[in-house]
Amino acid sequence: MKLPHRRPLPCLSRIVVTIGFAIALTAPTPSNAAEIKILTTRAMNHVLTELAAAFQRTSEHKITVILAVPNEIVRRVVNGESVDAVMSGSAAVDDLVKQGKIASGDRLIVARVGIGVAVRTGAPKPDISSVEAFKRTLLAAKSIVYTDPATGGASGIHFAKVLDRLGIAKEIKAKSILNAQAATKPSAKFVARGEAELGIQLISEIVAVPGAELLGPLPAELQAMNVILAGIVTTAREPDAARALFRFLASPAAAAVIKAAGMEPGGS
C-alpha cells in the first residue's frame, strides 16, 4: 500500500462534530449506559479521544482510556486488571487470545497504520523519499528517537530491523534515544521539545503531537503496515457496551476520523 507523502491532514475536531451530530439525529438512545474501560497503546489514543463525545451522544456509554505499551497491556490483562477491551498491535492481542483472555470471535481489525518520520514544526525537511535518501538523512541527523523494542512497540521493533538492513545500526545506536515511555510520552514529543532531531513512530502517533509534524512515511521498500486490533476481554464487566463501541469504530463515520489520523480503516 502506498502511503501519501506530506499530505496535509484534515482537522479531526471538525470531522467529529459533523459526524457526531449526524449520527445523533438517527441513533436510538439506550437506557443502560456503561463505562467502557479500554487498555490501549498510543496508536489509537487520539482517535478514541476524538470519537468519545460522538459515541457517548449516540449510545450514552462512556469511554475511559488507559494507555500502556504492548508488553504491559498483555501483562496487566493476564494479571487480572479490570478492563473491558484492549487495543494494540496484532502480536499483543493474538497473545491474549492464545492465553484465553480474549475470545477469538471478539476481535476487530480497527485500523492499519504505517511508520513515519517526525520533525519539529518549522524545522528543515530532509529528503526521505527513497531508501538511499532516507539512509543519508539518518546518518546526517544529530539525534534520533524511537520506541524501545523491548516494550513490544511495533515501530521500534521494525525500525531496529531497518537499521540492520541498511547496515547502519552501530552508527545510529550511538546517537539514539530509546523511548521506553512511549505510552505516556510519544517519541514525537522529544522532537517537538528539541530533544531529538528525528522521531520514528507510527504515523497516527505523530500527527497528534503539537509542535511536531509528519515529514513523511518510511520509503515503501522499508515500510511495514501495522494492524491495530481491538479485543474484548473475557472478564469484561461491560462486554455488550464494548461490542457497541466496536460497531461504532467499524462505521463509515468513525472511518473518517481514522483516516484523518493518518491510518487506514480496518475494512479498507
pLDDT 10s digits, 77-88: 999 999 999 999
| Res 266: pLDDT | 86
| Res 20: pLDDT | 37
**Residues 153-186: tens digit of each pLDDT:** 999 999 999 999 999 999 999 999 999 988 888 9
Is 7 a domain residue?
Answer: no
Q: In what order do the strands lie in the sheet with 35-40?
A: 62-67, 35-40, 85-89, 226-233, 102-113, 264-265
Same domain, 61 and 158: no
Q: What residues make up the domain containing 34?
A: 12-113+226-265
Q: Name beta bridge partners: 40.
A: 67, 87
Same domain, 119 and 109: no
| Res 31: pLDDT | 53
73 burial via Cβ count (<10 Å: 0-12, 13-18, 19+): buried
Same domain, 153 and 216: yes
Same domain, 69 and 197: no
- Rounded to the nearest 5°, which phi and psi values hold at 181? -115, 40
Same domain, 168 and 136: yes
Same domain, 27 and 158: no
- Rounded to the nearest 5°, which phi and psi values hold at 198? -130, 145
Long-range contacts (CB closer than 8 Å, 24 or more residues apart) made by 91-94: 91/152, 91/154, 92/41, 92/152, 93/229, 93/230, 93/231, 94/229
SS3 state of residue 100:
coil
Extract the residue ranges of the chain whose pLDDT is less than 70: 1-31, 267-268
| Res 3: pLDDT | 47
| Res 125: pLDDT | 96
- pTM assigned to the model: 0.80
Same domain, 155 and 57: no
66 burial via Cβ count (<10 Å: 0-12, 13-18, 19+): middle
CATH label of the domain that carries residue 176: 3.40.190.10
| Res 32: pLDDT | 72
| Res 127: pLDDT | 98
